[in-house]
A and B are shown apart, each in its own frame.
Chain A
Amino acid sequence: EDQVTQSPEALRLQEGESSSLNCSYTVSGLRGLFWYRQDPGKGPEFLFTLYSAGEEKEKERLKATLTKKESFLHITAPKPEDSATYLCAVQALGGSQGNLIFGKGTKLSVKP
Chain B
Amino acid sequence: GAVVSQHPSWVICKSGTSVKIECRSLDFQATTMFWYRQFPKQSLMLMATSNEGSKATYEQGVEKDKFLINHASLTLSTLTVTSAHPEDSSFYICSALPHRGIRGANVLTFGAGSRLTVL
Contact = CB atoms under 8 A, between A and B. Distances in A.
A44 B44 CA distance: 10
A30 to B, nearest CB: 16
A42 B112 contact: yes
A-side interface mostly: loop
Given A43-B112, A46-B108, A98-B32, A103 B93 contact: no
A43 B93 contact: yes
Contacts of B111: 43
Interface residues of B, number: 26
Given A49-B107, A98-B34, A104 B112 contact: no
Contact of B115 (A41, A46, A87): A41
Chain A contact-residue range equals: 20 to 34
Contacts, number: 56
A56 to B, nearest CB: 18
Interface of B: 4, 6, 9, 32-34, 41-46, 49, 93, 95, 97, 104, 106-113, 115
Interface of A: 4, 34, 36, 41-46, 49, 87, 89, 96-105
A34 B95 CA distance: 14
A49 B97 CA distance: 14
Contact of B104 (A4, A43, A46): A46
Q: Which 10 A-B pairs have the closest CB atoms?
A: A43-B110, A98-B34, A102-B43, A102-B44, A43-B113, A44-B110, A43-B112, A43-B93, A46-B107, A43-B111
